[in-house]
Structure 1
Amino acid sequence: MEEKIRANIKKFREDSGLTQKALADRIGKSESAIQGYESGKTDIPLSVIASILKALKISLADLERGSKAEAQAEKPMEILIYNQDDRLNTAAILVKNGYTVEQGKRNRTPTGKALDYFLRIRTYSESADTSR
């Protein structure tokens, strides 16, 4: 999955006609940082992924899928994050970068003794009520 994300960052950057330097300038990082992110030599912090999404004008779902899709056709993404502080920090970063975020939990087992904690993520356009 991580390699796919890295490859898709490169794909969307190239599709946008941006060099590594141009993307680096847009997100406040160095060209060598972008090279490291794309090659797999450097881990990509979530805050940087959010900045890249904004700079490339794509959604998290687009990045995962590798192609842009109609906003109405997109389904919300869910990310499992068990640590509450990590969930709150991740949610804050995503909201700051234009996403609608909901927290949730569900039974992982039929007995309900184990729970999955998750964030459900939507772009503003997905959560907007356009029926009025």
Structure 2
Amino acid sequence: MKKISPSNIILILLLGAGFLYYLYIKGLIFANFDNLDPKDAYTLLQKERDRIILLDVRTSEEVKTDGKIPGSVLIPLDQLPNKIDKLDKNKKILVYCRSGTRSVSASRFLSSLGFKVYNIKGGINGWKSENLPVEK
């Protein structure tokens, strides 16, 4: 039987750690929130609009460039800790960004404070790819 060299073991461990890190930053492991496909998020909004805050954590420049999901509230990720009092803990928070990475960070933060949080997978890019409504 062929032995595995120490350098190959290290390579396998690094690849495994990298893969776990990728899953973590995408909110696929160790997450206290739900990830929703854009169509599922849209359906949830249609059913429970009055019980949901739609939170956009992008910058105002990104909103000007890419538009926004109708009815969303803009609180850029870097301002979220200082504006947490603007969010109602009795409502569900549906979070998005451009591609889904910053919204995972926001979702982790909000869920750690006791909010019921949903992250829109793929952000507004995923939303647009499903031809869901966007306003400028």
The answer to whether TM tops 0.5 is no
Task: Select the structure with the greater relative contact order (CA < 8 A; seq sep ≥ 6).
Answer: 2
Normalised to the residue count of structure 1, the TM-score between the two structures is 0.28
Larger radius of gyration: 2
